[in-house]
C-alpha cells in the first residue's frame, strides 16, 4: 500500500506550490497551504495496488537527482529546483512524447488542483481560494436533520444470511430489482459497497463528498490515466450522485439493440411499460424551467444558430421557484441534502425495506459462490463506519442479481470464475470533454440544475447512429480546476479568476468503439480504453459546435479542450480567429494530451440472443451460471447515447418481472398466499 513518507510529503508540497503558485490577493495562497496531503494519500490508497506502487515510484523518481534526465534539466531533486525550474519540468512532462511522463503529469496535476480548489474547511469556513473565483461555497440552507428512513444491518461478528434473492448493488439497477422483488413478496437482501448517507450527511463539501460517495474516492480512471471515471459507490449508487437527467432511450438505439443483438424485448410493449413504470416511480418531469447561466447560454446560443434544444426531463419533485431551491439543485451531484432528487435512495429502496428487504451498506463482495453451475450466494466483507474491525459476511441465496456497474460487475464475475470471452469487453464510456468560455456577465453556474437543456443536433452524424450530445456539467471549483487545461501556474490561476463568469458545455460522445475491463492478480478492476479515430472525429465536431454556440451566446473567450490551450476570441457574436477552430483536428489527440472524462460506463456484460458473443441472455441471466443475473448498465448491448439512468432502471424493472415469472411453483404459491 502507498505510504506517505516525509520525503514524499515534501515533494508533494513542492508540486502543489508549482501547480498553484501564490498569487496577488489575500486568498491567493500557494498550493501547499491548502492541499491536504493526507486526503491526497487517501485518494491514492483507494486505487489498485499496482497503481499505488506506480504513484509511489513517480514520487520517488522526483526525489532523485537523475529526474533531470526526463527534461534535460539540472540534476537535483524536484524539491530542490527553483520555482521556474520546477514549472519547466512539469511543462516538459505535460508535452512529452513519452506517454508515462504525460500520465504522471496529469495524475499529479489533477490531484493537486482538485484538492486545492475543492476542499472545504470542516468548521464551515470558506476556502480562501474561493474569493477570487466568486464562489460562495456550500449552500446547506433549508436542509434539516431528519430520521433516517432506512435501517441497514450492522453486524458486529462474522455472520451468515439466508435469502431468496441476493442483490449486489443498490443504484439504478439493484435498487429497482430489490424494490420490485420485495414488493412481490420475496425475501431480498441488498449488499452495497458504499455508505448510507441521508439529509445533512450530504455536506456539499466537494472533496469530502467525492471521497465518500464515488468509487475509488473519485479517482477511478483508465490504466493509462487519460480518462477520469466518475461512478457512484454509495447507497442509491449513481442515482444518488448523478445530474438528475432522466432521458428515455432513443428509439433508434432500441431498434439497433433489438436487431443487431437479437434482443427483441427492447422494442416490445413490455419494455415500454417498464420505462413508464420507472418514470412514474421517479417523478420524471419537465416542470422546472429555471436555468442557470450556462444552460441559458446553451439555449440562447443554439437558438441564434437555428439549432433546436429540449428541456431535459429530471427526476426531482417538491421544487418551487425560490432562490433556496435553485441554489440547492446545484449541489445534488454531491448528494441531495434536501430530498428533491428521486433516486433509488428515496424511492425503490424504501419500498424494498417496507416489504421486508434487508440492506447492508459498506460491504464489498469478494465473489459470488457457485455450485454445480448455479449461483448459491456470495462472500463479502462488511466494514463498520465507526472503525470497528471488519466482519466476514456469507450469504446463501437461491438467486443472485449483480448490479455493481459496468466496472465492478465484470470484475466481480471474473473473480467468481466466469470466463466468457466477451465478459469485460465492449466497454463504452460516453467519452466527454468540456468546452469552457468566459462571458462579460456573471453566470453563477454552480447553482440551479446542473443540466436542464440539451442540444441533440449532432447525435447522428454522417448518416450513422453515432455523434455527440451537448449538455452542461456541474462546475464546482475542484472539478472545474481539474478540467481546465494547465499550461503554467499563473495561466491556470488566471483562468479560474472570476470563475463565476465561466460557463461550460460538455460534448458527450456516443462511442462506437469500446475498451475493456479485466482484473489484476488481487481481483481489482483494471480499465483499458483509447478513443478511436472514428469517435474522436465525432467528438471534435461536437467541440466545434459547442464553441460556436458559446460565441453565439455572447462569450468573448472560448477555451478549447487541449493541453496546448487553443483560445478563441470573439466580439459581438463573431469569431475573430476562426482558423484556430478549423485547425483543431490537426492537433495531437494522443492520450493525456487533453482531458477526457466519463460519467457513464456500459456494456461490459452485454446481453443478447447470441450466447457466443453475449455473456448475458436477453432475460438477464448469465450464459455460464444459472440463477445469476446482471441488471445494470453493463448489460446494455451497446451504449445508450443518452444519460443512462432511466434505461438502466427500465432494464432492471424488465429483468425483475422475468425473475418473478421464473420462480419455482412452490415459491409462487407462497407469494400468492
pLDDT band, very low/low/confident/very high, at 666 (cuts 50, 70, 90): very low
Q: What is the pLDDT of residues 294-311, one digit of tens each?
A: 999 999 999 999 999 999
What is d(CA 503, CA 477) in angstroms, rounded to the nearest whole number? 12
Q: What is the pLDDT of residue 649?
A: 98
Residue 27 has pLDDT above 80, yes or no: no
**Which CA distances in Å does 73 have to 17, 20, 666?**
19, 21, 76
pLDDT of residue 147: 85
pLDDT exceeds cutoff 50 at 673: no
3-state DSSP helix/strand/coil % of the chain, to nearest 5? 40, 15, 45
Q: Residue 366: helix, strand or coil by DSSP?
A: strand
- Residue 160 and residue 367: Cα distance in Å, rounded? 15
- Tens digit of pLDDT for each residue in 462-505? 999 999 999 999 989 999 999 999 999 999 999 999 999 999 99
Q: Would the CA dihedral through 531, 537, 543, 549 be positive or negative? A: negative
DSSP-assigned beta bridge partners for residue 382:
363, 391
In the chain, what percentage of residues exceed pLDDT 90? 93
pLDDT in tens, 326-346: 999 999 999 999 999 999 999
Instruction: Judge whether residue 85 has pLDDT over 50.
Output: yes
The answer, yes or no, to whether residue 222 has pLDDT greater than 60, is: yes
Judge whether residue 581 has pLDDT over 60. Answer: yes
The pLDDT of residue 568: 98
SS3 478: helix
From 61-75, 79-93, 132-146, 379-393, the region with the lowest mean pLDDT: 132-146
With cut-offs at 50, 70 and 90, classify the pLDDT of residue 24: confident
Query: Residue 170 pLDDT more than 50?
Result: yes
* Burial (CB count <10 Å: 0-12, 13-18, 19+), residue 157: exposed
What is the pLDDT, as a whole number, of residue 234? 97
Q: Which is nearest to 370 in space by CA: 134, 135, 622?
A: 622
Strand partners, 622: 616
Q: Mean pLDDT across the stretch 339-365?
A: 97
Tallying the residues shown for the chain, one arrives at: 673
pLDDT at 233: 97
**How much is the CA Rg of the chain, to the nearest whole Å?**
24
DSSP symbol at 644: -
Q: What is the mean pLDDT of the chain?
A: 95
pLDDT tens profile 371-422 = 999 999 999 999 999 999 999 999 999 999 999 999 999 999 999 999 999 9
Percentage of residues of the chain with pLDDT beyond 70: 97
The pLDDT, as a whole number, for residue 144 is 65
Residue 409 C-alpha from the chain's centroid: 15
pLDDT in tens, 309-325: 999 999 999 999 899 99
Residues 6+ apart with CB under 8 A from 95: 102, 563, 564
**What pLDDT is attached to residue 672?**
39
Please, where are the H alpha helices in 305-374? 323-329, 348-354
Exposure of 146 by Cβ count < 10 A (0-12 exposed, 13-18 middle, 19+ buried)? Answer: exposed
pLDDT digits (tens, 9 = 90+) for 599-655: 999 999 999 999 999 999 999 999 999 999 999 999 999 999 999 999 999 999 999
> Does the pLDDT value for residue 123 go beyond 80?
no
Residue of higher predicted confidence among 146 and 535 = 535
Domains along the chain with CATH numbers: 6-119 (no CATH), 159-277+345-425+604-672 (3.50.50.60), 427-598 (no CATH)
pLDDT of residue 360: 98
Of 26-30, 221-225, 448-452, 610-614, the range with the lowest mean pLDDT is 26-30
**Does residue 669 register a pLDDT over 60?**
no
Across the range 200-214, mean pLDDT stands at: 93
Q: If pLDDT is split at 50, 70 and 90, which confidence band does 670 have?
A: very low
Q: Cβ distance 124 to 31 under 8 Å?
A: no
Cα 339 to Cα 294: distance, rounded to the nearest angstrom: 24
- Residue 668 confidence (pLDDT) above 50: no
What is the tens place of the pLDDT at every residue in 256-265? 999 999 999 9
Mean pLDDT, residues 586-597? 95
Contact indicator for 220, 407 with CB cutoff of 8 Å: yes
Q: What is the pLDDT of residue 121?
A: 78
Average pLDDT estimate for 658-668 = 70
Amino acid at each position: 500500500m502507498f505510504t506517505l513518507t516525509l520525503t514524499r510529503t515534501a515533494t508533494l508540497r513542492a508540486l502543489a506550490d508549482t501547480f498553484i503558485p501564490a498569487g496577488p490577493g489575500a486568498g491567493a495562497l500557494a498550493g501547499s497551504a491548502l492541499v491536504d496531503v493526507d486526503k491526497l494519500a487517501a485518494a491514492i490508497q483507494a486505487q489498485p495496488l499496482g497503481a499505488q506502487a506506480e504513484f509511489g515510484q513517480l514520487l520517488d523518481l522526483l526525489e532523485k537527482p537523475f529526474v533531470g534526465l526526463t527534461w534535460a534539466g539540472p540534476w537535483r531533486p524536484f524539491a530542490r529546483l527553483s520555482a521556474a525550474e520546477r514549472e519547466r519540468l512539469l511543462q516538459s512532462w505535460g508535452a512529452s512524447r513519452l506517454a508515462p511522463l504525460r500520465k504522471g503529469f496529469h495524475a499529479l496535476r489533477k490531484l493537486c488542483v482538485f484538492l486545492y480548489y475543492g476542499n472545504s474547511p470542516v468548521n464551515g469556513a470558506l476556502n480562501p481560494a474561493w474569493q477570487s473565483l466568486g464562489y460562495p461555497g456550500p449552500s446547506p440552507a433549508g436542509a434539516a436533520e431528519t430520521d433516517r428512513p432506512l435501517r441497514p444491518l450492522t453486524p458486529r461478528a462474522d455472520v451468515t444470511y439466508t435469502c431468496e434473492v441476493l442483490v449486489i448493488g443498490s443504484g439504478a439497477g439493484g435498487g429497482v430489482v430489490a424494490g420490485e422483488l420485495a414488493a412481490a413478496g420475496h425475501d431480498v437482501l441488498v449488499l452495497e459497497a458504499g455508505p448510507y448517507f441521508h439529509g445533512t450527511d450530504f455536506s456539499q463539501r466537494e472533496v469530502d463528498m467525492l471521497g465518500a460517495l464515488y468509487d475509488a474516492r473519485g479517482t477511478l480512471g483508465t490504466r493509462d490515466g487519460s480518462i477520469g471515471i466518475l461512478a457512484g459507490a454509495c447507497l442509491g449508487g449513481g442515482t444518488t450522485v448523478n445530474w438528475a437527467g432522466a432521458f428515455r432511450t432513443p428509439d433508434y438505439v432500441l431498434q439497433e439493440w433489438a436487431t443487431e443483438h437479437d434482443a427483441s424485448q427492447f422494442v416490445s410493449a413490455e419494455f415500454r411499460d417498464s420505462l413508464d413504470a420507472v418514470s412514474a416511480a421517479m417523478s420524471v418531469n419537465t416542470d422546472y424551467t429555471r436555468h442557470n447561466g450556462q444552460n441559458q447560454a446553451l439555449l440562447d446560443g443554439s437558438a441564434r444558430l437555428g439549432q433546436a434544444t429540449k428541456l431535459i426531463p429530471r427526476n426531482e419533485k417538491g421544487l418551487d421557484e425560490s432562490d433556496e431551491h435553485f441554489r440547492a439543485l446545484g449541489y445534488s451531484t454531491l448528494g441531495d441534502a434536501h430530498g428533491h432528487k428521486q433516486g433509488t435512495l428515496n424511492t425503490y429502496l424504501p419500498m424494498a425495506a417496507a416489504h421486508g428487504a434487508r440492506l447492508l451498506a459498506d460491504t464489498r463482495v469478494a465473489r459470488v459462490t457457485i455450485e454445480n453451475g448455479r449461483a448459491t450466494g456470495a462472500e463479502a466483507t462488511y466494514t463498520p463506519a465507526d472503525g470497528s474491525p471488519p466482519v466476514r459476511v456469507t450469504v446463501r441465496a437461491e438467486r443472485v442479481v449483480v448490479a455493481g456497474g459496468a466496472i465492478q460487475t465484470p470484475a466481480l464475475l471474473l473473480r467468481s470464475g466466469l470466463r466468457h470471452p466477451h465478459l469485460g469487453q465492449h466497454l463504452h464510456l460516453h467519452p466527454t470533454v468540456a468546452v469552457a468560455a468566459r462571458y462579460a456577465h456573471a453566470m453563477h453556474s454552480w447553482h440551479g440544475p446542473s443540466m436542464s437543456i440539451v442540444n441533440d443536433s449532432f447525435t447522428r452524424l454522417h448518416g450513422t447512429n453515432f455523434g455527440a450530445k451537448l449538455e452542461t456539467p456541474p462546475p464546482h471549483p475542484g472539478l472545474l480546476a481539474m478540467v481546465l487545461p494547465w499550461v503554467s501556474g499563473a495561466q491556470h490561476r488566471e483562468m479560474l479568476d472570476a470563475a463565476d463568469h465561466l460557463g461550460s458545455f460538455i460534448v458527450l460522445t456516443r462511442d462506437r468503439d469500446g475498451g475493456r475491463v479485466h482484473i489484476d492478480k488481487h481481483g481489482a478492476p483494471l480499465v483499458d480504453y483509447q478513443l478511436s479515430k472514428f469517435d474522436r472525429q465525432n467528438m471534435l465536431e461536437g467541440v466545434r459546435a459547442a464553441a460556436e454556440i458559446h460565441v453565439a451566446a455572447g462569450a468573448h473567450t472560448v477555451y478549447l479542450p487541449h493541453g496546448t490551450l487553443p483560445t478563441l476570441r470573439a466580439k459581438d457574436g463573431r469569431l475573430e480567429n476562426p482558423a484556430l477552430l478549423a485547425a483543431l483536428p490537426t492537433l495531437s489527440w494522443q492520450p493525456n494530451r487533453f482531458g477526457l472524462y466519463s460519467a457513464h460506463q456500459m456494456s461490459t456484460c452485454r446481453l443478447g440472443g447470441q450466447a457466443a458473443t453475449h455473456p448475458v441472455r436477453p432475460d438477464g441471466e448469465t450464459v455460464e451460471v444459472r440463477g445469476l443475473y446482471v441488471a445494470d448498465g453493463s448489460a446494455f448491448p451497446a451504449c445508450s447515447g443518452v444519460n443512462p439512468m432511466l434505461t438502466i432502471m427500465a432494464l432492471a424493472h424488465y429483468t425483475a418481472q422475468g425473475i418473478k415469472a421464473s420462480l419455482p411453483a412452490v415459491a409462487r404459491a407462497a407469494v400468492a398466499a
